[in-house]
Amino acid sequence: MQNSENSQFKIEYISTSGVYKTPFTLIILLQFFIGCLVVISINLWFYNDLFFLLTGKRFLSFLLIGQWWEWLLLPLNIYGNLLLFAFSVILFSAFLFKVLNKIYPPREGVFEKGSKEWKYTHRRFWMAYFPIWLARSLPLPWSDIFVYRFLGVHIGKNVVAYEGYIDPEFVEIEDYTMTSLNICIFSHLIYHDKILIKRVKIGKTCIVGPQTIISPGTILQDGAILGVNSYTWVNQILDGDFIHVGTPVNKKLQIQSVEESIKKAERIKEESQKKINNTDKKIIGANR
């Protein structure tokens, strides 16, 4: 997709993805409230029974009378409530996210501050914030991949994607790719009064190294490897089955087998030793 606006917009530096704080941020409180209400309404009968076992009174008189074995369910109840709370919040906010998408569908391009795109990207980001925060603080480390799938991001099977920042829209990750610690995958870039949105595609069996940034519009073809500590420029295409390194990416290296690389290292060692020996002889000769 190349708009007429997009070609005029010059990118001189990579900034960051993110959103300002708006009044819509308070949606977090609503999501929290709804999740808690679901958990409490399901647990009312259980705590009514426990209260009866403790004191002999009931605060809800129309429910059953508690049995002694219900104490055994208490640890299961605590762990189940954590999952239930997270699951209800995730379902509720994914539903609202879909509604927002129906009201104003997201588009790619460059947009000014105050336009409808600007407003709705902010709303969608704040809507997606709390479920992803919850999934990442649960004791199940892969649960945030399910949240991303609920929100409409395409993530394939056997993907490692829980140790970095990933934008909640316009990102495609195919099967068997690995992303490392502390990476950033941006499909949005914010300048002062403009926002750039472009789709990021990561192919099959890619590896994204630690401490890297992937800017909007980059395409990693199948089998590409992005090296440690490097970042990509906007609209960059990384060829498949090569290693890419640089800030921004400017070097292309071939993938080697372990034996080849060991042989190469030994060859370099021998050459450097010869050089050192030669220089030593020269120095000794000069001294004499």
Min. distance of Cβ 251 from another protein in angstroms?
16
Instruction: Compare residues 176 and 191 and give the one whose CB is closer to another protein.
Output: 191
Residue 142 binds another protein (CB under 8 A): no
Of the candidates 126, 69, 61, the one whose C-alpha atom is nearest the C-alpha of residue 96 is 126
Size of the site for another protein (CB under 8 A): 51
Long-range contacts of 73-82 (CB under 8 A, 24+ apart): 73/46, 74/50, 77/43, 77/46, 81/39, 81/43, 82/138
Using CB under 8 A as the binding rule, whether residue 125 contacts another protein is answered as: yes
- Among the listed ranges 95-103, 106-114, 187-195, 201-209, the one in contact with another protein (CB under 8 A) is 187-195
For another protein, which residue of 192, 259, 286, 287 counts as binding (CB under 8 A)?
192
- Please report how close the Cβ of residue 67 comes to another protein at its closest, in angstroms: 21
Residues 46/78, Cβ–Cβ less than 8 Å: no
Helix, strand, coil in percent for the chain, rounding step 5: 45, 20, 35
Instruction: Kindly state whether residue 171 participates in binding another protein, applying the rule CB under 8 A.
Output: no
Q: Which residue in the set 81, 180, 205, 211 belongs to the binding site for another protein (CB under 8 A)?
A: 211
Given the structure tokens 């049995």, which residue do they identify? 67
**Amino acid of residue 110:** V
Give the Cα separation of 128 and 193 in Å (integer).
Answer: 23
Q: Which span (72-80, 94-102, 121-129, 236-244) binds another protein, by CB under 8 A?
A: 121-129
231 binding another protein? (CB under 8 A)? yes
Cross-strand partners of 207: 178, 225
What distance in Å separates the CA atoms of residue 60 and residue 253, rounded to the nearest whole number? 70
Q: Give the chain's largest Cα–Cα span.
A: 108
Query: Would you count residue 165 as binding another protein (CB under 8 A)?
Result: yes
Which residues are at the interface with another protein (CB under 8 A)? 12-21, 25, 28-29, 32-33, 35-37, 40, 44, 59-60, 125, 128-130, 132-134, 136-137, 144, 162-168, 181-182, 184, 186, 190-192, 211, 213, 229, 231, 247
